[in-house]
Structure 1
């Protein structure tokens, strides 16, 4: 049986067909994202970045754009405001960032149980679909995990450590593969690092990351403008 939140999303989609939409960021009528907000969102393209101190290998993360107030309002409207049509816009921001080769798997960061109960759906699926990405949902959160949204930077690292795993039935899918971890926004990097740790533990050969946006001010220890390395086949890992 569909939850009330799912029915609400479906109703919103029907309403959007007959009622002019408003800008996801500033409510300007008649557009999904107005020209001014779109320009602000795209003003600073994302860059390849690296978390250098990582078990096994540096973790390289590519983001479509750098975070902005306008983009955060779009993401909030999408994830928690019933504006499911925002997936098409977010998909365009992500689509130019990642092109997963056939030998790569794209694995989304799992949603916390609390977030799923609150929303009734999994936003990353819609963004991936809009970006024409085939995803493999192999990561699972342990029951003790707390939703990261309300935590400080230090609390995020403590909360997320050891919180993810790959169930045995999915380990055979991951083993020996190059994997791209997918999320909407990277803030401290804690979630990406934990996802990579769990995937390496399941036998992944190489793990990198991709996000729609990056919040640069939350990355004091990261190295900007780093270049993705080559794996042992000579291919660049993007």
Structure 2
């Protein structure tokens, strides 16, 4: 009779598989380049949530897990730009920690543009939401192309993103009046989150706040 493997056996199996993959496909820690591991224990500890909070000019409350610097910045870049999707689990753990327990709402990810989907083959924010244990509600869509935000200042970012997002009408009908929380990877000026909140408010949807993995000042901007 078949008996499922116990926790110890499963742990040994996962370890053996990881060792085999490390030989066939060598990896290095995304945070410090230590060999044979996607994210080493010391770098994972560097990602521990510190629950940073700010309010955007329009009043939107934004909670972020870490500062976009050092190990956190390297790990997020490896996940987004190098296709290292195995890091999504660690980032999902970090993101889950900053969701306030009093928020009874639906997570709505900031959408990826068509060009980034073609380049990456996956939507980073959606994937991290799933690894956080959430069921992301893909309510928003990118309505038009934009310039690269990294080269723009605060006011230029706001202009670049003005009117760029729309709401999926059929998805709204299934929302059944629930409040929503916006989810993104990194917040810089808050222009992307503000535009998303505007689009949702125009569709009659109440946004109670936003959560992001990281927060960065405008200088050295790397995201939105």
Q: TM-score, normalization: structure 1?
A: 0.74
Describe the superposition over 1:21-79 as per-residue Cα deviations: whole angstroms up to 9, x where unpaired: 4211221113332344344444x71322111x32xxx2001111122122111111111
Q: 1:102 to 1:49 in 2, by over 3 A?
A: closer
Partners of 2:22 and 2:37 within 8 A in 1: no
Partners of 2:66 and 2:72 within 8 A in 1: no
1:142, distance to aligned residue in structure 2 (A): 1.2
Unaligned runs of 5+ in 1: 1-13, 220-238
2:163 paired residue number = 162
1:210 paired residue number = 211
- Cα RMSD (Å): 2.5
Partners of 1:196 and 1:207 within 8 A in 2: no
Q: Secondary structure at the match of 2:139?
A: coil
1:202, distance to aligned residue in structure 2 (A): 1.0
1:129 paired residue number = 130
Q: 1:87 to 1:172 in 2, by over 3 A?
A: same
Q: Secondary structure at the match of 1:218?
A: coil
Q: 1:142 to 1:100 in 2, by over 3 A?
A: farther
Higher relative contact order (CA 8 A, sep 6+): 1
1:144, distance to aligned residue in structure 2 (A): 3.4
Matches within 5 A, 1:1-238: 15=21, 18-19=24-25, 21-42=27-48, 45-51=50-56, 53-54=57-58, 58-98=59-99, 103-174=104-175, 176-215=177-216, 217-218=217-218
Partners of 1:109 and 1:139 within 8 A in 2: yes
Q: 1:84 to 1:206 in 2, by over 3 A?
A: closer
Query: May I ask how many residue pairs the two structures share in their alignment?
Result: 200
| Rounded Cα–Cα distance in structure 2 between residues aligned with 1:127 and 1:75 | 11
Partners of 1:142 and 1:165 within 8 A in 2: yes
Partners of 2:31 and 2:71 within 8 A in 1: yes
Q: TM-score, normalization: structure 2?
A: 0.79
Partners of 2:91 and 2:128 within 8 A in 1: yes
| Rounded Cα–Cα distance in structure 1 between residues aligned with 2:136 and 2:151 | 27
